[in-house]
Amino acid sequence: MQIQDILFSQGFGTRRICAGLIQQGFVAVGHEIIAEPAMEFIAEGLRFSVQGVEWPYVEKAYLMLHKPAGHECSQKPGMYPSIYTLLPAPIRQRGGGAAAGVQAVGRLDQDTTGLLLLSDDGKFIHRMSSPRHHVPKVYEVTAKHPVDDAQIQKLLKGVVLDDDPKPVRAAACRQTGASQLSLTLTEGKYHQVKRMLAAVGNRVEEVGGLHRSQIGALVLPGDLLPGQWRWLSTDDLQAIAATPAAV
C-alpha cells in the first residue's frame, strides 16, 4: 500500500495533502524519512510518524475516552464544547467524506463523566449500542437524598418511565455510601439513570452525580484522566464483549 494512501486512510488529509507531507520530509517509518509518496509498505502492523508524532496503522479505530463534564457527545454541539474537540485531527478526519472520523458509541449527557467508546466501525457501534445485545454499563451515582433499601429494591424490580409502560430495571444495584449507588444497566434509554432515580423518589445530584465506570468487563483505567483518550487493546475489546454474567 502506498504511504500516501496509508496516511489518507488514517485521516491526515486529502491525498494531495498527504503527498505534500511526505515530500516535505514530515513522514518517517522507523528512523527513515520517507520522501516518495508512492513508496509501498505493508499496512498491517505499521508504525509511522508524522511531524514527530508516532501513529499505528489501524484498519478500524477503537478507542476509549474519559469524558469530562461540560462536553456534549455531538458533532454539532449547542451550549457546550464537543467531545470530538478532545481528539487529534487525524482521528476526527479518518476516512474522509461526510461521515469521516470516529463516532461515539451511545451518548453521555454533558454533565455525565466517565467511560465513552468511539469507533469508525459501524458494526461495532451498532452491536455495542443496540439494546438487543444487553451490554452492561455500570454507573456510579450520587443522589440528592439518602438512599434506602426500598429504593434499591424498586430499581431492581423495575420502574415505569413516563414514555414507556414497560418497566425498566437495573441489572444490579448496590449502595456504596449514604447517598451513593453503583447501578448496572443493560439498556440505553434517554436520561435513563436520572429518570429511574426520580421514579423511586430521589434524584441524581446535579454536579458530579453521574459517572460511568465500566462497559462490559472493561473498567475505566484509573490513570486515564478526564479529557484523555487511548486506543483499545485486543484485551480491552474482549472485555467489552464480555457477557453480563461475566461482569
CATH of residue 47:
3.10.290.10
Q: Can you give the residue range of the structural domain that contains 38?
A: 3-56
Residues 99 and 149 reside in one and the same domain: no
Residues 117 and 49 reside in one and the same domain: no
Q: Which pLDDT does position 247 carry in this prediction?
A: 37
pLDDT in tens, the chain (247 residues): 999 999 999 999 999 999 999 999 999 999 899 999 999 999 999 999 999 999 999 999 999 999 999 999 998 888 999 999 999 999 999 876 555 789 999 899 999 999 999 999 999 998 888 777 788 999 999 999 999 999 999 999 999 988 778 899 999 999 999 999 999 999 878 889 999 999 999 999 988 999 999 999 999 999 999 999 999 999 999 888 765 443 3
Residues 124 and 229 reside in one and the same domain: yes
Residues 92 and 154 reside in one and the same domain: no
Q: Which pLDDT does position 243 carry in this prediction?
A: 53
Residues 207 and 242 reside in one and the same domain: no
Residues 7 and 28 reside in one and the same domain: yes
Catalytic residues: 109
Residues 146 and 202 reside in one and the same domain: yes
233: domain CATH number is 3.30.70.580
Residues 46 and 21 reside in one and the same domain: yes
Q: Which pLDDT does position 166 carry in this prediction?
A: 87
197: domain CATH number is 3.30.70.1560
- The tally of domains found in the chain comes to 3
Q: Tell me how far apart the alpha carbons of residues 111 and 105 are, in angstroms, rounded to a whole number.
A: 17
Which residues, at least 6 apart from 241, have a Cβ–Cβ distance to it below 8 Å?
A: 216
Residues 118 and 161 reside in one and the same domain: no
CA within 13 Å, CB half, 182: 10
